[in-house]
Structure 1
């Protein structure tokens, strides 16, 4: 591919001569690249009949090695919500929004959280307050009963700069009921997040912890550990066409250390906020 990109159009014999490879080897490998859509060929008249002319389809390739996607539970209804598509917010500075391409609006200006470009956000942060998301209640629409609700997102504390020792109490509520509080240990900047873009300063928040809340008939669990007595019945899912998820830091929190929410294009997990409804 590099040879064709640099040298331009070539027939198979030319490529074989220039790379000092057997013509049969070049021919079979070019066919593999053609099947993959990376090389294009066409026949043209030559001095001794027709010849196959090859050229690279692309001038640049980007290859990403990602973790294998886990098998999806066919008994689950899943919705992924981009972090910028909140329906309500009340935040205090320092605060801000970023897309993978750059800063959105003005930094440390809470009204920026109303900017329509927020839908492109891959990172948001604030000192205290909340963002609230409205997920469709697809279980109610489908007329099916639910045995558990799971919520997954990547979070960290927020401090000017970074600090691995900066606890923050992050509280999650669903349909107006608090399901529990997780104390984030810090704001991580010891290394660049796997998906955090190069333009984002290394001194800024790089990644968070991927946390999973699960609400069942027996209570709420955080990463498999019992967190609170709030159970599925308290959320009254059958009474609502939507599921409201609020994430925030209270002004009177014991550890008011701010919050970062990482979405696609930032952090270590390249995912939106994910809500899963597990059917009975």
Structure 2
């Protein structure tokens, strides 16, 4: 997740730009996928000129950007630059956020997996290994993966544990671009995708679709358009108050204390399909050069510094 962190010097300009219902709706629409101005005007039921003026205001404060992309001729497409805006009321002397560590992990850097076909591992320019062959997930080139897909199973990552000695973890956030896995693509194809941290389930998201038919903003053009194209950016979080999915509290008993982060040399994050999942529709996991979001796997660990006794 790309976060725009504001301070007192720049918060007012951004606040003025988003203090408008049409511009807020534009940001919401673009958070799902890129659109051109005609598409935005149609969804907002506004004249083209009004929509273009609102897009320009968001561009001026760099909340969105416009790029020329090939299509039916060359067209201007708007994309959102940030997934979250935060106002920082306290900063350290060098301007960095206090008591937070952010780590990004390439999707090909998994340390363990259990894969069942349909499956595949895809680089920026070609398949890695053979399609529908779980052995491909053990190829050395897997580290260059930009798309992983499988019908059943899991992949596990191990993030470095950067919790300072003597500190207590207060919140762990994990963000990934995900969707279901069907042959080619299928818009009505639910799948229950689960995330575990240090062996503890922190959330299950039911993906509604294997999204395709419209090219992902970052998806390479050699990748056929009738294949999976993009996913949705999902935020899984565990805090002292419980587990959350996209900010909504889940009915799960675990809290961050159950992860025992202070006792582990790494933080294990596993993504997959439960054996008893109601909707076993597989998953697609996107890297920074596939799909709609320029990121790999993003984990943020927040903590409090314990007072010395």
TM-score, normalized by length of structure 1? 0.74
> Residue in 2 aligned with 1:155?
178
Quote the Cα distance in structure 2 between the aligned partners of 1:193 and 1:237: 36
Count of equivalent residues: 216
Residue aligned with 2:291, SS: coil
Alpha-carbon offset, residue 279 of structure 1: 2.5
Instruction: Indicate whether 1:106 and 2:119 are aligned.
Output: no
Quote the Cα distance in structure 1 between the aligned partners of 2:85 and 2:231: 23
Instruction: Indicate whether 1:122 and 2:146 are aligned.
Output: yes
**Runs of 4+ off more than 3 Å:** 64-73
Alpha-carbon offset, residue 253 of structure 1: 1.1
Alignment of 1:1-280 (within 5 A): 67-68=80-81, 74-75=97-98, 76-140=100-164, 143-227=166-250, 228-280=252-304
1:166–1:257: 8 Å Cα contact kept in structure 2? yes
Residues 204-261 of structure 1: per-residue CA shift (max 9 Å, x gap): 1100010001110110000010122221011111110100001001232100000000
Alpha-carbon offset, residue 136 of structure 1: 0.6
> Residue in 2 aligned with 1:42?
none
Alpha-carbon offset, residue 102 of structure 1: 1.1
Alpha-carbon offset, residue 101 of structure 1: 1.2
Residues 106-139 of structure 1: per-residue CA shift (max 9 Å, x gap): 0000010000100000100001000000001101
Alpha-carbon offset, residue 65 of structure 1: 8.2
Alpha-carbon offset, residue 143 of structure 1: 4.2
Residue aligned with 2:104, SS: strand
Quote the Cα distance in structure 2 between the aligned partners of 1:158 and 1:230: 28
Q: How much is the aligned-residue C-alpha RMSD, in angstroms? A: 1.8
Deviates more, 1:76-85 or 1:225-234: 225-234
Alpha-carbon offset, residue 161 of structure 1: 1.2
Quote the Cα distance in structure 2 between the aligned partners of 1:204 and 1:150: 30
1:218–1:229: 8 Å Cα contact kept in structure 2? no
Alpha-carbon offset, residue 84 of structure 1: 0.5
TM-score, normalized by length of structure 2? 0.67
Quote the Cα distance in structure 2 between the aligned partners of 1:144 and 1:192: 45
Quote the Cα distance in structure 2 between the aligned partners of 1:143 and 1:136: 17
Structure 2 gap ranges (5+) = 1-76, 87-95, 305-309
Structure 1 gap ranges (5+) = 1-63
Q: Which of 1 and 2 has greater Rg?
A: 1
Residue aligned with 2:135, SS: helix
